[in-house]
């Protein structure tokens, strides 16, 4: 397996291009299943999760061509198996998002139950409740869930909790249902808004995306389109923290600042300068970081996908910080690895108390999940000596060639292939 080696202490300075959003790309790939004719997406990030979704779509009968510019033709799905197998779902939970479009357009889908994952169980009960309200019959057997309906009918659906995947999945199913569907307590994330924009371009009638109530008036047919995916706010936030903790000066080209208010507010609270410029977002690190307190919340609150990265900043600040995780129950798995490098973090349930001014000392650390991988890279950038990060395949799920891009702005970082796990 690959490993990444970092020699810390370099100040980052220069420009970094923010690429297309992973959390938008995956549901948009699924949305292509709804169209009659090919759909082309531009600014697609070259990530292992995107490749996994492509494999799933090909298995369903789609033709998929390209990478940065990706064209998906779903015309072969009609005679395909309409099944998402365990081998792919276990690799990437977003695979379950094919259920909505398959059910909405073809009336049937069979998807492996995803089970748990490293950062906590993320059940799909809200997805299934939504499909059932639309008139689908649901059957579970042998580790798979089957959803079936001759044609879905519009309904009023109130999610028990805010669910991004559930909102997206049910939205796609309802796009071709008969009548009007209202989703209440819907997720408000920019990626939900992006999906609504794409479905609208395909011919769907959707209003309210970005609010907690989304209304979908079903249509009979949708068509293929051409669409450029919005930039990745989590990638931009990760690079912004890299600038802040290294005392750097980075211009993040095309950073979606309007979707990053909660993250930018905490960076500024910590002392970083965040300035929106015509080409993107400039972040300048302070001489000394101030402590921060934060609580992860659904959008527009502080994103759970930025919690691990912001914890690195907190460990370097003067004084005590408190981070409360309310989204995923196991999303502090990076804490032992940060402590191994020299952090002082105490966890009690879903609350982490961080005593700052850590002096990181390079060592061998193990990545446990995608965002934990990113936080270890950040820690390595400021550690004394050499930090070696293993299991970096997690990193490749959400950050395209991060080592090459950071090296261009001054980081001493390299990837080594075939390293032992």
Q: Give the model confidence (pLDDT) of 345-383 as tens digits.
A: 999 999 999 999 999 999 999 998 888 899 999 999 999
Query: 292 among the known binding-site residues?
Result: no
Percent pLDDT > 70 in the chain is 97
For residue 371, the model assigns a pLDDT of 87
Please give the biggest Cα pair distance in the chain: 63
Q: Is 339 a catalytic residue?
A: no
Query: 125 among the known binding-site residues?
Result: yes
Q: How confident is the model at residue 88 (pLDDT cuts 50, 70, 90)?
A: confident
Query: 6 among the known binding-site residues?
Result: no
For residue 304, the model assigns a pLDDT of 95
Q: Give the model confidence (pLDDT) of 304-320 as tens digits.
A: 999 999 999 999 999 99
Q: How confident is the model at residue 120 (pLDDT cuts 50, 70, 90)?
A: very low
For residue 419, the model assigns a pLDDT of 55
Query: 309 among the known binding-site residues?
Result: no
For residue 141, the model assigns a pLDDT of 87
Selected catalytic residue, list 117, 274, 339, 375: 117
Domains of the chain, with CATH numbers? 3-19+231-416 (3.65.10.10), 22-228 (3.65.10.10)
| Average pLDDT over every residue of 36-45 | 97
Q: How confident is the model at residue 115 (pLDDT cuts 50, 70, 90)?
A: low
Global pTM reads 0.95
- Is it the case that residue 138 has pLDDT exceeding 70? yes
For residue 122, the model assigns a pLDDT of 53
Query: 330 among the known binding-site residues?
Result: no
For residue 293, the model assigns a pLDDT of 98
Q: Give the model confidence (pLDDT) of 173-227 as tens digits.
A: 999 999 999 999 999 999 999 999 999 999 999 999 999 999 999 999 999 999 9
């Amino acid at each position: 397996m690959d490993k990444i080696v970092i020699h810390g202490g370099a100040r980052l300075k220069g420009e970094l291009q923010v690429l297309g959003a992973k959390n938008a790309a995956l549901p948009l790939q699924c949305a292509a299943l709804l169209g009659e004719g090919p759909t082309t997406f531009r600014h697609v990030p070259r990530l292992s999760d995107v490749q996994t979704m492509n494999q799933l779509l090909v298995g369903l009968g789609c033709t998929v061509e390209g990478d940065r510019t990706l064209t998906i033709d779903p015309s072969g799905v009609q005679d395909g198996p309409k099944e998402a197998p365990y081998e792919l779902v276990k690799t990437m939970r977003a695979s379950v998002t094919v259920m909505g479009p398959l059910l909405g357009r073809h009336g049937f889908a069979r998807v492996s139950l995803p089970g748990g994952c490293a950062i906590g169980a993320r059940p799909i009960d809200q997805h299934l409740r939504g499909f059932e309200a639309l008139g689908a019959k649901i059957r579970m057997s042998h580790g798979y869930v089957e959803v079936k309906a001759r044609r879905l009918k519009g309904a009023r659906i109130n999610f028990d909790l805010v669910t991004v995947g559930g909102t997206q999945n049910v939205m796609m199913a309802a796009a071709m249902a008969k009548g009007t569907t209202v989703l209440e307590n819907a997720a408000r994330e920019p990626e939900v808004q992006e999906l609504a924009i794409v479905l609208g371009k395909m011919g769907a009638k959707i209003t309210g995306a970005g609010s907690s109530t989304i209304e979908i008036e079903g249509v009979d047919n949708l068509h293929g389109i051409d669409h450029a995916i919005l930039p990745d706010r989590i990638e931009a936030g990760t690079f912004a923290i890299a600038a802040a903790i290294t005392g750097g000066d980075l211009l993040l080209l095309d950073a979606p600042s309007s979707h990053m208010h909660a993250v930018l507010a905490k960076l500024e609270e910590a002392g970083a300068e965040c300035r929106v410029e015509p080409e993107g977002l400039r972040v300048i690190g302070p001489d000394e970081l101030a402590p921060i307190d934060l609580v992860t919340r659904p959008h527009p609150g502080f994103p759970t996908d930025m919690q691990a990265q912001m914890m690195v900043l907190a460990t370097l600040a003067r004084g005590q910080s408190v981070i409360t995780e309310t989204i995923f129950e196991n999303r502090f798995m990076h804490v032992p690895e940060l402590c191994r490098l020299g952090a002082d973090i105490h966890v009690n349930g879903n609350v982490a108390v961080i005593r700052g001014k850590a002096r990181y000392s390079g060592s061998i650390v193990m990545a446990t999940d995608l965002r934990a991988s990113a936080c270890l890279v950040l820690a390595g950038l400021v550690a004394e000596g050499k930090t070696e990060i293993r299991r970096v395949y997690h990193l490749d799920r959400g950050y395209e060639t991060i080592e090459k891009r950071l090296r261009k702005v001054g980081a001493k970082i390299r990837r080594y292939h075939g390293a032992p796990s």
